[in-house]
Structure 1
Amino acid sequence: MTEEQSSPRRFGRRRRANISGRTQYVRVSMSEQERAALLVLEERTNRTASEIMVSAALYAENSESLVERRALAIELMQARRLLATVSNNVNQIARHANAGDEFPKDAVAAVAAVRRVADRMYELVDELDR
């Protein structure tokens, strides 16, 4: 086993996700400053250099990148979690309202919060569709 094979991955790099079909390799030359900027982008986005460069090349025309789509997907998942939490609160309010004669004051605010989160989720889905 060579030293390169036995040593841990440099900077904890991960492989690019498997792609279908035959793999094509392209060699790219860049300055030290460009490579440093690419390293920073790799760390910030938790993506490989190939993923970043392929997405930049393929999405340059329509100015949409995989990073932006991934950020929207993350925001959509966070909104979904928030909606589940708020919906749970609405269920608790409904259970309380059904158990007694008075309607809880928090119910109107909770339902409004559910509507705001749901509206934001629709907006995010529309952004992902573009």
Structure 2
Amino acid sequence: MADEVEDSRSHRKSERRRRVLGGRQHRHVVRVTPEEEARLLSLALEYHVSVPKLLVDSALAGGADAAAVNASERKELLVQLFGAHRLLAGIANNVNQIARQANSTSEIPAETNATLAAARRAAERIDELCDQLAGELS
């Protein structure tokens, strides 16, 4: 149990809630039994959030299961966002190679239009994912 408490404390440091303009004005103190504390710590570790975040998300999202679903959806969105970012980085590398070839030969390679269209699609997908993630966080 001591290891879980220590793991929870160290994990909370990396999973802080985002800052809010003007700070959080209200504070609630909740007293729990040792059994409730154990369950809260277990859930927080399972969902990779702090106990306060678990309590807030649970209350505002309709329960721990709903909070977990929201957390897993955010995690999935982040995975997709990082994947789209890697794709865009690869496309940017292709654009750089096309530019280098065009500068050295004074000819525009045939794949230029397709590469630029792929870059636009990737950027649009990143925008969609950011909008989706922002909606999840609000």
**1:93 is aligned with what amino acid?**
I
Aligned to 1:55: 57
**1:13 is aligned with what amino acid?**
S
Partner Cα distance (1:54, 1:90) in 2: 45
Cα deviation digits, residues 16-64 of structure 1 (max 9, x gap): 64773453221356978x938x72x534542112212211212339x78
CA distance 1:57–1:92, shift in 2 (3 Å): same
CA distance 1:42–1:9, shift in 2 (3 Å): closer
1:72 aligned residue (77, 80, 100): 77
| CA-CA distance at 1:120 after TM superposition | 0.8
TM-score (norm 1): 0.59
CA distance 1:126–1:97, shift in 2 (3 Å): same
CA distance 1:30–1:111, shift in 2 (3 Å): farther
Stretches of structure 2 that go unaligned for 5 or more consecutive residues are: 18-22
Residue 100 (structure 2) pairs with residue 98 (structure 1)? no
CA distance 1:106–1:54, shift in 2 (3 Å): same
Cα deviation digits, residues 52-84 of structure 1 (max 9, x gap): 2211212339x7876234553554354334323
Partner Cα distance (1:12, 1:30) in 2: 17
Cα deviation digits, residues 109-130 of structure 1 (max 9, x gap): 4323312211211211332343
Partner Cα distance (1:74, 1:24) in 2: 33
**1:122 is aligned with what amino acid?**
D
Across the aligned residues of Structure 1 and Structure 2, the Cα RMSD in angstroms comes to 4.0
Partner Cα distance (1:10, 1:56) in 2: 20
**1:114 is aligned with what amino acid?**
A
TM-score (norm 2): 0.57
Stretches of structure 1 that go unaligned for 5 or more consecutive residues are: 1-6
Cα deviation digits, residues 67-110 of structure 1 (max 9, x gap): 23455355435433432342132122111122115544553443
Mark the structure with the bigger radius of gyration. 1
Partner Cα distance (1:60, 1:74) in 2: 25
CA distance 1:29–1:113, shift in 2 (3 Å): farther
1:23 aligned residue (1, 16, 27): 27
Q: Secondary structure at the match of 1:55?
A: helix
More helix by share: 2
